[in-house]
Amino acid sequence: MSVQSAFRHEDVTFGNAFDAYPTRLSDATGSLWQDRKDAVVKGRAEDGPLSRDQLARFERDGFLFEPHFLADDEVGELRRELAALLERDDFRGRDFSITEPDSQEIRSLFAVHFLSERFRRLAEDPRLTGRARQIVGGDVYVHQSRINYKPGFHGKGFNWHSDFETWHAEDGMPEMHAVSASIVLTDNHHYNGPLMLIPGSHKVFVHCLGETPEDHHKQSLKSQEFGVPSHEALRRLIGANGIEAPTGAAGGLLLFDCNTLHGSNANMSPDPRSNAFFVYNRRDNACHAPYGAKRPRPSFLAHAPDEVWTPDTH
């Protein structure tokens, strides 16, 4: 039995907003998940740089890893820029700067394409935007950007989750017309906390229980407890398709669907892991009122099309 056909759930309406993907529910619905309603790959091989075979793999698995996407000199330049950003004392303690739960070491910097000219150029690089347009089937904008740093021995992991579940519930993203691009800036090994993904999980939407707490992002960016799938849902999805963790040299590109379930372990090795992360949302899928929270998250987590953000934006 495919994961799509195992369970079904009816559409619901909250207030004036039709919600095709209900989540953050107060009670279990009797179904662990529902079928995905949106197509995965909306473009064609003729529309961009990805081949027919690459698009087919993305359609099947919900992700695609391209090794050696960036040249060594580009990786070196980006790593130097990342190191400089992580050393900015004026970024510490700011809402867009996320530290490790038990230290002041910066774990993530959001809105990085506004904080850094070099990362802005990367976000707008046609090699990335062309792939994003090809997958989502239209013009895109950067919904979210960040750099992640997982230090050796101390880098914490994060729970299994679907990014779309969060963006839908807390940012108001209507449909699954977004793709994430993660560029590996350090060598990814199986032992330094690489991203793990559940192949095929993007084809269903897993309902999550629990009302979204006020200002949930302040806790969830360090350790997420709401908006995570049940153990039973994970057990069935992993049992059907397993877990994959793409590894390889710095400079690789991981593209993954907005609804692919993913997570990571703690980094228990001496080798740090870092990446640059850009979310491309289709312009006609811009966010509005959140579906599962009282108010939207701050703009450094969910940019609007054509937004101009600064560290003083609220």
CATH of the domain at 160: 2.60.120.620
pLDDT at 31 over 80: yes
Of the chain, the percentage scoring pLDDT greater than 70 comes to 88
Residues 12 and 184: their CA atoms lie apart, in Å, by 39
Of the chain, the percentage scoring pLDDT greater than 90 comes to 68
Closest CA to 176 of 39, 25, 28: 39
Q: What is the pLDDT of residue 226?
A: 59
pLDDT at 260 over 60: yes
pLDDT band per the 50, 70, 90 thresholds, residue 21 = very high
Q: What is the pLDDT of residue 11?
A: 45
Does residue 151 sit within a domain? yes
Buried b (16+ CB within 10 A) or exposed e, 267-282: beeebbbbbbbbbbbb
Q: Is the pTM of this model over 0.85?
A: yes
Residues 42 and 177: their CA atoms lie apart, in Å, by 9
Does residue 308 sit within a domain? no
Residues 55 and 64: their CA atoms lie apart, in Å, by 8
Q: What is the pLDDT of residue 92?
A: 86
Does residue 305 sit within a domain? no
Residue 304 vs residue 221, higher pLDDT: 304
Residue 67 vs residue 10, higher pLDDT: 67
pLDDT at 245 over 90: yes
Q: What is the pLDDT of residue 14?
A: 42
Beta bridge partners of 279: 144, 180
Mean pLDDT on 189-194:
88
Question: What does the mean pLDDT of the chain come to?
Answer: 88
Does residue 306 sit within a domain? no
Residue 272 vs residue 10, higher pLDDT: 272
- Within a 10 A sphere around the Cβ of 170, how many other Cβ atoms? 26
Q: What's the structural domain count of the chain?
A: 1
Beta-carbon contacts of 84 under 8 Å, excluding residues fewer than 6 positions away, are: none
Return the minimum-mean-pLDDT range out of 52-56, 65-69, 235-239, 295-299.
Answer: 295-299
> Please, where are the H alpha helices in the chain?
3-6, 52-61, 72-86, 112-115, 117-123, 126-136, 163-166, 217-220, 231-241
- Within a 10 A sphere around the Cβ of 51, how many other Cβ atoms? 10
**Most confident stretch, 11-15, 82-86, 120-124, 269-273:** 120-124
pLDDT at 210 over 70: yes
pLDDT at 7 over 70: no
Which residues constitute the domain of residue 149? Answer: 3-285
pLDDT at 277 over 90: yes
Q: What is the pLDDT of residue 50?
A: 98
Closest CA to 9 of 17, 225, 23: 23
Please give the backbone phi and psi of residue 188, each rounded to the nearest 5 degrees, phi first.
-95, 120
Residue 104 vs residue 238, higher pLDDT: 238
Q: Which residue has the tokens 């993530």?
A: 108
Asked if residues 177 and 136 have their Cβ atoms less than 8 Å apart, the reply is yes
pLDDT at 104 over 90: no
Residue 153 DSSP class: T
Residues 279 and 286: their CA atoms lie apart, in Å, by 12
pLDDT band per the 50, 70, 90 thresholds, residue 213 = low
